[in-house]
Structure 1
Amino acid sequence: MVAATRLDCAVGSAALMRQAVAQAVHHATHRSAFGGPLVDKPLMRNVLADMALESEAATTTAMRLAAAYDADTEQERAFRRLGVAVTKYWVTKRCPVIAAEALECLGGNGYVEESGMPRLFRESPLNSVWEGSGNVQALDVLRVLQREPQALNAFLVEIGRARGADHRLDAAVKDLLGELGDLEGIEARARRIVERMALVLQGSLLVRFAPPAVADAFAASRLGPDWGTTFGTLPPTLDLASLVTRARPTEH
């Protein structure tokens, strides 16, 4: 039940991220400035695409873990033993960053209570502390790695399903295996290891299930070296417009 509740936290954060991105994309689509819609401005498009990519990766991973509960086979139970802790750690950590950036996309309106964004921003840190803080999740992952080899094997089988599909993903998996093979000072590196596990898992899922533009953008930024430290730093050679369009709310 504890693991299921932790997954609830990850799903909740993924949903909040999706709502925040949808609000930002909607505003940028209908807000004109500097001679045209904000969504058409290259810099804003990059910010929106970067946030949309983060949101899609979080949602895809949360849904994959939910499917592991539905299947409930021995292999899926072993996979989710690691997958839930890794995903709960990473997705809930990314949620407040997304909420803050999305709020900023609305400018001063985003700071006004009536916009709804302040509520999202206030809620965004909750799931990272509920059912175990970041350190608790990271230490739980280490415990599993040291005591439950079947869980690590199931996790590696899952990410291995995308083997050979993207050279950046393959390189990231190789680096992760190197980290996991070095036990010296592993507790001090726990967050680093869990972060890499989360990114590799998300990359594997997107390579398999997302459109090529999404998978390419994720691999280039999260798994490759071409990404900054804030949203809006995706390589400009990517198909940013399709990422934004994919995140745009459907209007009826």
Structure 2
Amino acid sequence: MHIITLVKWVPDAQLERQIGEDRRLIRSEGILGELDEHPLEAALQIKEQYDTEVRVSALTMGPPGASAAVKKALQIGADDGFHLTDEALQAADIWTTSVALTAAINFVRSTASDSDFLVLTGMASEDGETAAVPAQVAARLGIPALTQATDVVLKDGQLDVDRISGRRFQKVSAPLPAVVAVTDQANEPRYPNFRAIMKAKKKPTTTFSLAELGLTHYAVESKVSLLAAEPRPEREAGEIIHDDGAAGQKTVEFLSKEGLL
């Protein structure tokens, strides 16, 4: 079986986010998204369950620097990596992203002889946070989408997933192939040790463009246009209440004014 795990290169949350002159987020300092470590861990657990019968591929879409996300995925345990990069994909919206990733998934699938495949994704990306791409990819592939998964079990070609829907917990099942969006409650991602880091250097990585997928720039033209972008305003200083005997009353009045009561 072939498991394709979608990973993304996102801005480091520990650093201040900045907007460039082109009105786009500066991504010079990026990391593998933390939410994408959970589907990767789920893929590796399935691989360990079935031993060598499972191949885990890490797939990313992004600028040249996004190769760092694939590199980290290989260090964690993926067998091989794939990187779709093309200038036409800059500032891609969710429609464009799902179109390109669907074609990329089919490209990755063509490198394996397995007919059964599973696509694992994070619940959302830390930069876009739409959580819409997994379902769109599944719809374009014509296979089931199981989202908000807190547990993933594969047995005899059948997926059993625990998921969250609002305040309800559900158990759903689907045959392979399928797309599963894994939440950060599903598992505890492993960390690569020195041996894994060194071993990752020998693992293959394939970089390809839209042309190799048979897609033109017009086929991935975003439906959303960014008209303006600016940094958020500086945070105003808070109101300090000194306890002169009426601090409690002033606190209540402040909370009431802010609509917090």
Q: TM-score, normalised by structure 2?
A: 0.28
- Larger helix share, 1 or 2: 1
- Larger strand share, 1 or 2: 2
Q: TM-score, normalised by structure 1?
A: 0.29
